[in-house]
Amino acid sequence: MDDNQDPHHPGGGAAEVLPAEVRTRLEHGAHSVLVDTRALQEVRRRFDDEQADALSRYLASAQSPNTLRAYRSDWCAFSAWCLAEGRRALPADPVDVAVYLAAAADTLGEGDPTRWALSPSTLERKAAAIAAVHGAHGLTSPTRADVVRMTLRGIRRRRRARPDRKRPVLLHTLEALLQERPAPGHPTGAARRRDALLLLTGFAGALRRSELAALTFDDIALDTDAKTGDPLLVVRLAATKTDQEARHGQQVALPRGRRSTTCPVCAFADWADAVRAHRDGGAAGLRAFLDADPAVRDPHHSGGAPAHRCHTYTGTDLADGTGRPLFVPIDRHGRLGARAISGRAVAELVKRYAERAGLDASAFSGHSLRSGFATQAALGGAADREIMRQGRWANPRTVHGYIRTANPLEDNAVTRLGL
């Protein structure tokens, strides 16, 4: 992977120059690298602690947690490089920044000398971190200088390799993944239910892995399709990649599936029942609930897919305003965790099921569910406007790329050649 290298090791051993205590504080410090702590000390001299703390909290929330973590790591790496090279990190000289980026661009992947360790987008993010820290301290950013901009442009031109795109999870792939779920009953029945909902929600909702991981039961509402009367789920998204401040109240609809095995509403009902059994009865209550699953008593049921249950489902009291995570970790003993899973766990889950289905796991990622929605919708004849609405894409070119992947002959004059 492009970003698999130690974030504090872009220049070959520079990170070791920083004392371990300093590195730990930079990596895990509670304060953002984008907040000028000296300025906040001045605020404390002029205002009381409560007012200063309020200002600090809101300044620290100006960027998403993921962005702050990346910037903190990038700034630590640049500071270590400057210390090793005898350069000044703040304020930095533009030539020093350009040399740092060039050296980082030449770093090869650890264990794979045929690949670059850092992608152009990662290097641009490193430059953005340097700019952000300078701006937070009222300093002119060195990245505005021509030497830095031209260096980044040269890196992009030299790296004109085809992007390593992951395969989309299409409908037939999704069904293959669902067939690889573990057996019903204790201890694997909880994971069976959770994973069905996760795969179906990620696919039908065109959700990013971070959006899936962040969902809570409070975000899910049971509704009815006004045209058909069928049940559906409305998923409210909080902060997203394109709406980090949650200003637009984005939401997606998950309709009833044609079959119960691919029905997001049925999957939600199944998982919610398991979580409620765990809430009310703990591990013992969950075990008793799972062992009472009809599929456990009749594992060789030959009547085809089970019947839909969503038409009689009335919702769950798990949406109680406490922000209970929708997807939680489950250990090999079937025990449910209390905190939400991570975005990385979503990606690993997709890869794990792809491998079980006999597919190349390295060809799939957490994004495969989202890209699979767009590609499958295009194959089904959906217009780009319809795809953009569910996927919350703002740029039509992104959707057109999925449409070209799904059908390279779409709006293509080659079909008129008469061959």
* Cα distance between residue 222 and residue 238, in whole Å: 18
Same CATH topology for 14-158 and 171-371: the answer is no
Name the one residue in this structure whose structure tokens are 């790329």.
401
Tokens of 158: 């030299």
DSSP state of 342: P
pLDDT at 62: 66
Residues sharing a CB contact under 8 Å with residue 192, sequence separation 6 or more, in sequence order: 181, 182, 183, 184
How far is the CA of 280 from the CAs of 45, 215, 286, 408, in angstroms? 51, 21, 9, 53
Is the Cβ–Cβ distance between 314 and 222 less than 8 Å?
A: yes
pLDDT at 300: 53
DSSP state of 9: -
Provide CATH code, domain 14-158: 1.10.150.130
Beta bridge partners of 108: 116
* Cα distance between residue 415 and residue 402, in whole Å: 19
SS3 336: strand
**pLDDT digit string (tens) for the chain, length 419 residues:** 333 333 334 444 444 444 455 455 444 443 455 555 666 666 667 777 777 677 667 766 666 777 778 888 889 889 989 988 888 888 899 999 999 999 888 887 666 666 777 888 889 999 999 998 888 777 889 999 999 999 999 988 887 655 567 889 999 999 999 999 999 999 999 999 999 999 999 999 999 998 999 999 999 999 999 899 999 999 999 754 554 444 556 899 999 999 999 999 999 999 999 999 999 999 999 999 999 988 876 655 545 568 899 999 999 999 999 999 999 999 999 999 999 999 999 999 999 999 999 999 988 998 899 999 988 988 888 888 898 999 888 878 777 777 766 667 767 777 778 78
Cis bond upstream, residue 187 (ω within 30): yes
pLDDT at 65: 73
pLDDT at 44: 66
Tokens of 32: 């953002």
Provide CATH code, domain 171-371: 1.10.443
Ranges of each domain in the chain? 14-158, 171-371
DSSP state of 221: E
Residues sharing a CB contact under 8 Å with residue 117, sequence separation 6 or more, in sequence order: 2, 4, 5, 10, 104, 107, 108, 109, 110
pLDDT at 355: 95
- Burial classification of residue 247, based on how many CB atoms lie within 10 Å of its CB (0-12 exposed, 13-18 middle, 19 or more buried): exposed
CA distance from start to end of the chain:
42
